[in-house]
Amino acid sequence: MGVPYIESKVPSIYLSEVVHKADMSLLDELLPSHGNDHVGYDKLLLAIQVNTFACGGVAIGIKMNHSICDAFSKAMFVKTWASIARGGGQSRLPSPFFEVWKHFPPYPLKSSINTNIASKEPDSNIITIRPVTKWFMFTKEMCNELRSRLCSEYNYQSRPSLTMVLSAFIWSKIKLASSDKTLPHEVYHAINLRPKVDTLSKSYYYFGNMAVNAIAKPSLDNDESLCNSFITTIEDSVEKISRKNGLIEGLQNGTQNLRYMMQHYKRVTKGEIVSLGFSSLRSLPLYEADFGWGKPVWVTSATLMYSTTVIMIPGGASSDDTYVYINLKPDQMAKLQADQEFMSFVTKSPTFGTFVSSKI
């Protein structure tokens, strides 16, 4: 089938406008398929759009099929592509390993469960409110302040990471913004398995999907201790992943399946539980790709597809700040932005990007 490669000219806009305004709808236009319109693109493994602006700046929009690789693999692919493009050749970079399937047997893609999810005919019980994507910037200083506050209140055996602290803070605020206080909450935090699999040599360079979700159900009993409940339950879930007879062994033996996740998906779409998924890209080599004109000034995401999703992206090649993309129902987003404590930790500039998604 090949890879669609599109060259697009953007004569009326400077690249600096895109970076400073961060208009989510404009970012979607820089991708090979706009927004969440995946018609014709959902079956492709890769699609690329190179955008040239009036100032001569360039933005590369990339879509890769999540069924074949995770975010780490995407970042390594772009880094290798850039090295080859500038004449460095692939020999300077380690070759990727494509044998993840030998260690983690793939699941059948054409299962009845997946077919139901991909169906264009929605269940009559499914909630169909379109979510809103917004991004907020948290400086390293603000993240450290949050961590210091938590560590002073709770006696942790080991100091939680900035990613975990930021996730806990955001979840606690989204929980308070939820309209139904009685529904159970489930939290999913994507975990990169590469550094956790001792039996794989050079697992760092394995290409494919080596990310799983640490699943937790934080206690909702006390609003004052929401962050602590989040951190302790998520860290326990992460520890179980590597434990003997844990998730890694289950995946390697082929005993794990998608049924729980699919059942969870149905419960979420029917409004039976409140779910929030976190994915941190803060440690990925996003700013190491150099096509010959220097490393990128900004790596970002376009509109998020699903509601109750949070993605963290590093603020720049030499920045320790974090961009947080949050996808929520409009009423939840309004309550979140009305939370004075939440907004006090958010950097007021640059302008927040906003876009109404076209999918649930």
Q: What are 264-308's pLDDT values in tens digits?
A: 677 777 778 888 889 998 888 889 899 988 889 888 887 766 667
pTM: 0.81
**Which residues, at least 6 apart from 136, have a Cβ–Cβ distance to it below 8 Å?**
323, 324, 326, 346, 347, 352
Could you give the 3-state DSSP secondary structure of residue 8? Answer: strand
Regions of the chain where pLDDT drops below 50:
35-39, 111-127, 254-255, 257, 351-360
The domain limits of the chain are 66-356
Please tell me the predicted confidence (pLDDT) of residue 192. 85
Q: What is the DSSP letter of 347?
A: B
Please tell me the predicted confidence (pLDDT) of residue 276. 86
125 exposed, middle or buried (CB, 10 Å; 0-12, 13-18, 19+)? exposed
The Cα angle at residue 194 between residues 172 and 283, in degrees rounded to 5: 50
Instruction: Kindly list the distances between the CA atom of residue 173 and the CA atoms of 123, 168, 195, in Å, as whole numbers in the listed order.
Output: 30, 9, 31
Condensed to tens digits (0 to 9), the pLDDT of residues 97-134 reads 887 777 777 666 554 444 444 444 444 444 456 788 88
Please tell me the predicted confidence (pLDDT) of residue 191. 85
Instruction: Kindly list the distances between the CA atom of residue 194 and the CA atoms of 279, 311, 340, in Å, as whole numbers in the listed order.
Output: 15, 20, 39
Could you give the 3-state DSSP secondary structure of residue 144? Answer: helix
With contact defined as beta carbons under 8 Å apart, do 322 and 315 qualify? yes
Look at the domain 66-356 and name its fold.
Chloramphenicol Acetyltransferase (3.30.559)
| Cα 165 to Cα 231: distance, rounded to the nearest angstrom | 7
Q: Which residues pair with 50 in a beta bridge?
A: 7, 60
| Cα 81 to Cα 59: distance, rounded to the nearest angstrom | 15
With contact defined as beta carbons under 8 Å apart, do 315 and 93 qualify? no
